[in-house]
Structure 1
Amino acid sequence: MQEKKELLLPAFALGHTTHHLYTAIIPALLPVFKNTFNLTYIEASLLPAAFQAGLTAQIAVGIYSDRTAKRSIIVSAGLAATALTIAALALAHTYHLLLTLSFLAGVAASTYHPAGTTLVTEYYPRKMGFALGIHAIGGGLGTSLGPILLGALAAYLSWQEALYIIALPGLVAALIYSRLVKDVRLGWVGTQKQKKLEEGSIKKVAPLLTTFIAAYLLGMFAAETTIDFIPLYLTTVFLVAAPTAAILLGLMRILGVIGGPVGGAMVDKLGSKRVLSLSFFGQAACILILIQLDLGGALYILLALIGFFFAIQIPAGNAYLAKLVPERRRGTAYALFFTANVAWAAIVPPISGAIIEAHGFQAAFTTAALVCAAGAAIMLLLREPTVKKI
């Protein structure tokens, strides 16, 4: 039993790695899709937007996971389904079918965060920042490995064959996760009085929760713009080959492997809101510098730093929310939080794509940096919450 417990954090990180390996695939393939289907920038931007729109299904997943407590089953089944739907992109012969499959891949991926993140906070309530930081390693590793693996495979195989091979890790991870991670049964009896106390607690923090999510979304504008359009920026402005651009997108996220645990440790010492503000200011500054650079070592370093600052915001945002709401409502709260994120992520690419179409990449990246900085400023004004145990 002890050995199995020691494998829990690696299992959580593995699940997160696999989930984000697939979330990074569509942006990495945008140059290929644009050329293959002869798309405009706006049409290309609708592909990651469709994936993000599919992710809004996680609000239903979060509510269901809170009511049934079958979080491990939800995560395991979702990992397998995501792998299969991403592989199915290879079967698309028209743009509209590609758009539909992108949406369905998002629906499959919607199963992870509400259930998976809640499981981490339930297993490690006293070391939440640390555990979420280790969990975040998976996010950074997955978003890095996805494009790198895809680019390496596509250099020797067709992009369709590469997608078939990339489906395999998801199926293996789903099996491992289902064997190692079991659901937590909280010792909590839902009396009418306790339910009223819980509902009152949620209503009390609603204004702070709303402001927090709004500030977080402003900060996310930069990440969504850079992740979706860096490959197109590199292939259009610097004439980088599509497989190389995919690998560079992966390198942008490689520092996320250390950014997750560093961010988690910073949360435990400094508090969530300070780490979030630092993350957003850091991303904004790096983007403004990056668009002034030519292709070379300095640009690669800036890409990696953007990935690092993005990575530290993940455990910070998750910890802030976990402290703000009662344990029994975390699945639903995370679902609301991540649904707001993905709804925003579905809106941002078309906005940035339209700016690129009309004014170019520099205007789009500058806009993203300024919006991100506004989110950082608002975050500094929020209070730091304490853990809710109702």
Structure 2
Amino acid sequence: MNTQEQTKTGWMPRLELPMSLVGLGHCGIHWIAAIFLFLAPYMKEELGVSTAEVAVFWSIFYIASFAANLPSGTLVDMTGKRVFWQVFALGVCALALLGVGFTGIYLLICIFVAVIGATNMLWHPAAISYLSKAFPDQRGFALSIHAMGASLGDLLAPVAAGTLMLYLTWQQTAMVNAVPALMVAALLFFGLKRTDAGKAPEKGMKGGDYFSGMKGLLKHRGIMLLCALAAFRSGAQAGLLFFLPFYLKEDLGMSPVIMGVTLAAMQIGGMVATPVAGHMSDKVGRRPIIIGGLWTSTAVIIALTFIESPFVFVGGVAVLGFFLYAARPVMHSWMMDMAPSNMGGSATSLMFGFQSLLIIPIPVVGGLIADNYGLLPVFYCLAASMLVANVLTLLVPKSEAEAR
């Protein structure tokens, strides 16, 4: 019985295990990035640099991610080794976080951040195309489990880092938090190897076939518009993840633990939303779920700038997370619906490449705005980015004929 036939018969344990394992791996990838983001204000203080200078780390992350974009999709689709590249990406990413903890030198941190950015990119085309091919009839739900893993990592990492910072330095906190990600990489290797036992290995693609498929992706109007709207939405999300810790610490004066709880609240909202949104998108379509999530997120970002009570702010952040993260797996599913199955890795890379290209200047530009005008104008700019994504959603063709 193949995977597609199994999905129609009900919830089979064998079907759930690959979803869970890949979701846990995605948790590890986001755990590493979230740990680094949480430690950024403390790095700024100890390294004696400005907000703009520490924001360079996050720009380097996205520059490296963009540079690794096309090679990642090419490696995944041409070799067909989707499990291997997932394990490789997570393992090397964890080792880079370990390296950040070992050094306190600005330039060396930049190098390790570049490695984290590149391996973060490599993970996504491998994992998303793996799940898309394994569960074609439950694509939205499978990718929502993948996204839920990301929210779990983003949820647990700030709480863990905030608690450890009460007793350790930021460098020690980085090193300790690299260990769980390494353990997950090992679990992913042995777990997916076991679930794939007995299956014929996936064949790669020949160079001519691959480049012909890539040309088709670039000519597809629907895919290009989807890449653009994903970029503006992800730009807003990345800006929030980077600047929200500074706002909590410097403007609201929160302690490390309360900061961690606040950031975790956004991820809790996302964890609740993603499986619901993914399942609903399999039933009613991708477009209405994305439109609802993006418009509401825009309104909540603006509303947060008027809230002064820390307790109310935490609630608002949870609401933001619910709607902001609901759209993420649905966009990935929509992309996989449009792309040929053997080009899933490259289609994912294309989407993430657009995202990285737009996000690269956001930390530095936002940091300069924050240093000169404060953090509130930064949040208004992020809301504007989300508004552009809203408009682009309406322009995505409704049929395959219109898309070409």
TM-score higher than 0.5: yes
Q: CA deviation at 1:231?
A: 0.6
Say whether residues 1:90 and 2:101 are aligned partners.
Answer: yes
Say whether residues 1:233 and 2:233 are aligned partners.
Answer: no
Task: Find 1:100's aligned residue among 98, 108, 111.
Answer: 111
Contact 2:61–2:113 under 8 Å retained in 1: yes
Contact 2:336–2:344 under 8 Å retained in 1: yes
Task: Find 2:384's aligned residue among 359, 363, 370.
Answer: 370
The aligned counterpart of 1:248 is 262
Say whether residues 1:164 and 2:175 are aligned partners.
Answer: yes
Structure 2 residue runs of 5 or longer lacking an equivalent are: 2-11
**Structure 2 matches for 1:256-295, cutoff 5 A?**
256-295=270-309
Taking a change above 3 Å as real, the CA distance of residues 48 and 203 of structure 1, as seen in their structure-2 partners, is: closer
Q: CA deviation at 1:54?
A: 2.0
**Structure 2 matches for 1:57-76, cutoff 5 A?**
57-76=68-87
CA deviations 1:50-77 (Å, max 9, x no partner) are 1222222132121011111111011112
The aligned counterpart of 1:202 is 217
Say whether residues 1:296 and 2:307 are aligned partners.
Answer: no
Q: CA deviation at 1:313?
A: 1.5
Question: TM-score, with normalisation over the residues of structure 1?
Answer: 0.91
CA deviations 1:105-141 (Å, max 9, x no partner) are 2223232101011100010011111111122110111
The aligned counterpart of 1:16 is 26
> What is the rounded CA distance, in whole Å, between the counterparts of 1:86 and 1:366 in structure 2?
32
> What is the rounded CA distance, in whole Å, between the counterparts of 2:46 and 2:94 in structure 1?
22
Structure 1 residue runs of 5 or longer lacking an equivalent are: none
Question: TM-score, with normalisation over the residues of structure 2?
Answer: 0.88
RMSD: 2.6
Q: CA deviation at 1:170?
A: 1.3
Moved over 3 A (4+): 1-6, 182-204
Deviates more, 1:242-251 or 1:31-40: 242-251
Q: CA deviation at 1:368?
A: 1.1
The aligned counterpart of 2:65 is 55
CA deviations 1:300-354 (Å, max 9, x no partner) are 0111122122211111110111011101111111111112212322221112112
Deviates more, 1:22-31 or 1:183-192: 183-192
Contact 2:140–2:278 under 8 Å retained in 1: yes
Q: CA deviation at 1:287?
A: 1.0
Paired letter, 1:84: L
Q: Size of the alignment, in residue pairs?
A: 386
CA deviations 1:246-274 (Å, max 9, x no partner) are 44222222222122101202211332222
The aligned counterpart of 1:305 is 319
> What is the rounded CA distance, in whole Å, between the counterparts of 1:40 and 1:147 in structure 2?
22
Paired letter, 1:128: R
Paired letter, 2:357: A
Deviates more, 1:225-234 or 1:152-161: 152-161
Contact 1:320–1:384 under 8 Å retained in 2: no
> What is the rounded CA distance, in whole Å, between the counterparts of 2:175 and 2:202 in structure 1?
43
> What is the rounded CA distance, in whole Å, between the counterparts of 2:219 and 2:377 in structure 1?
40
